[in-house]
Amino acid sequence: MPVLHNRISNEELRERMLAETEPRTTLSFYKYFTIDEPQTTRDELYKAFVSLDVFGRVYLAREGINAQISVPQSRVEAFREMLYAFHPALNNLRLNVALDDDGKSFWVLRMKVRDRIVADGIDDPTFDASDVGDYLKAAEVNSMLDDPDAVFIDMRNHYEYEVGHFQNAMEIPADTFREQLPKAVDMLRDDKDKKIVMYCTGGIRCEKASAWMRHNGFKNVYHIEGGIIEYARRAREQGIPVRFVGKNFVFDERMGERISDDVIAHCHQCGAVCDSHTNCKNDGCHLLFIQCPSCAEIFHGCCSEVCKEELALSPEEQRRRRAGRENGNKIFNKSRGALNTTLGIPDPE
């Protein structure tokens, strides 16, 4: 029986990835379709991915698949052919190619079965996730941005919106997608006659969100095909203005893709203009926050003096302090003055 999960330490896997000489391409894709046996499908897909030396994060559920991966450049076409042949629903599936890619986005393959490929909190048996809004291509997005009757809704988390968004887009203040869905309905109740344009990183969240808005009585609902990634790529190819401002947060080691030269966020420690996310170097914290180079040097990559002091302790003393302490990664939320618990780089919920 082949091993269907990783058994090597993260440190060793990361070193192996960094030592690779062949460039990698970072891809993302998703598809809502019915998977009758998610665990069996996961195991078959895992073996196929491993055979092509694919790294990344893949979630499967009865409702479909969601993946962010990296593939050796020489195997991208072989991967595409494998995926298209794997299931009829995946044939000719759009693969979003990373915009600002150094090929070092992932160093291990993690493939998991979940209840949903995007945690949405929806518990309504009458909800039809396939009844989605209309797709918008890049040129149509720019036209909508100039339409006074159109409202752009950012269906990403606050820390994503903070570093980049479409001009005049509305933020739905929340830390997870499941929190955003009911808030979006409430915030837009007086705009039911307007054109509602929803967007996210690669399309998976805004596609489901558009269906949820239609389920709640909104008629003129749109979403950007392929999300920010596909929009920016197509706009550049077509030579039309890219109207997304700042950086697109991504859920891998890069933590961001530069879309425009504008830096619209600030260091969470000193307030300097900066849009570089990092995790606190203290293993007992790992806060996700924005830190400028000056503060990174002053605080040794930590989020506070407390974490800086703890990082300087012996490994044994650090472990002793963490014992019994509720740990996990936290997300800095400056707008609400709160720290919110997650693990590692957060999932795009």
Asked if the model's pLDDT at residue 103 lies above 80, the reply is no
CATH architecture of the domain covering 10-113: 2-Layer Sandwich (3.30)
pLDDT at 297 over 60: yes
**Strand pairing class (221-224; 134-136):** parallel
Backbone angles phi, psi at 290, to 5 degrees: -100, 130
* pLDDT for the residue numbered 343: 33
Distance CA 138, CA 233 (A): 9
**pLDDT at res. 339:** 41
- Whether the predicted pLDDT of 338 surpasses 60: no
The whole-number average pLDDT for the span 65-73 is 94
User: Region 288-310: what's the mean pLDDT?
Assistant: 95
In this structure, of 39-53, 311-325, 329-343, the range with the lowest mean pLDDT score is: 329-343
- What is the model's pLDDT at position 318? 86
Provide CB contacts within 8 A for 277, sequence distance 6+: 159, 163, 249, 255, 256, 288, 289, 290
Q: In the 8-state DSSP scheme, what is residue 206?
A: H
How does the average pLDDT of the chain come out, rounded? 87
Confidence of residue 253 (pLDDT cuts 50, 70, 90): confident
Residue 57 per-residue DSSP state: E
> Phi and psi dihedrals of 39, rounded to 5?
-70, -45
CA 241, CA 238: separation in Å to the nearest integer?
9
**CA–CA distance, 220 with 81 (Å, rounded to integer):** 36
pLDDT for 347: 57
C-alpha Rg value of the chain to the nearest Å: 21
Catalytic residue list:
200
Q: How far apart are CA 346 and CA 332, in angstroms?
A: 12
Q: What's the rounded Cα separation, in Å, for the pair 262 and 293? A: 18
**Residue 329 has what pLDDT?**
45
Give pLDDT tens digits for 149-205: 999 999 999 999 999 999 899 999 887 899 999 999 999 999 989 999 999 998 889
Average pLDDT estimate for 19-48: 91
Q: Is the pTM of this model over 0.85?
A: no
Please report the pLDDT score of residue 207 as a whole number.
92
CA distance 227 to 137: 10
- The CATH architecture assigned to 134-246 reads 3-Layer(aba) Sandwich (3.40)
**Separation between Cα atoms, residue 65 and residue 78, nearest integer Å:** 19
Tell me the per-residue pLDDT of 115-155, one tens digit each, with 9 for 90 and over: 999 889 998 989 988 889 999 999 999 999 999 999 999 99
Residue 20 pLDDT > 90: no
Which of 232, 237, 240 has its CA nearest to residue 257?
A: 232
pLDDT of residue 231: 96
On whether the CB atoms of residues 111 and 49 are closer than 8 A, the answer is yes
- Identity of the residue numbered 333: N
pLDDT in the model for residue 322:
80
- Which residues, including other chains, have CB under 8 Å from residue 52's CB and lie 6 or more apart? 71, 72, 75, 78, 79, 82
pLDDT in tens, 215-231: 999 999 999 999 999 99
Q: Whose CA is closest to 135, among 82, 77, 94, 105?
A: 94
Tokens of 263: 């830096």
The pLDDT score that the predictor gives to residue 99 is 81
How confident is the model at residue 74, as a pLDDT? 95
DSSP-H helix ranges across 71-157: 76-86, 138-145
Domain locations in the chain as residue ranges = 10-113, 134-246, 277-342
Q: Write the CA distances from 10 to 16, 17, 49, 136, 284, integer angstroms.
A: 10, 10, 18, 40, 17
Give the model's pLDDT for residue 8. 59
Q: Regarding predicted confidence, which is higher, 198 or 315?
A: 198
pLDDT value at 346 more than 50: yes
- Tokens for 318? 């650090």
Cα 24 from Cα 213, distance rounded (Å) = 38
- At a CB cut-off of 8 Å and minimum separation 6, what does 264 contact? 162, 163, 164, 245, 246, 275
Binned at pLDDT 50, 70 and 90, residue 7 comes out as low
Confidence check: pLDDT of 280 > 90: yes
Rounded (10°) CA dihedral 152, 158, 163, 166 = 0
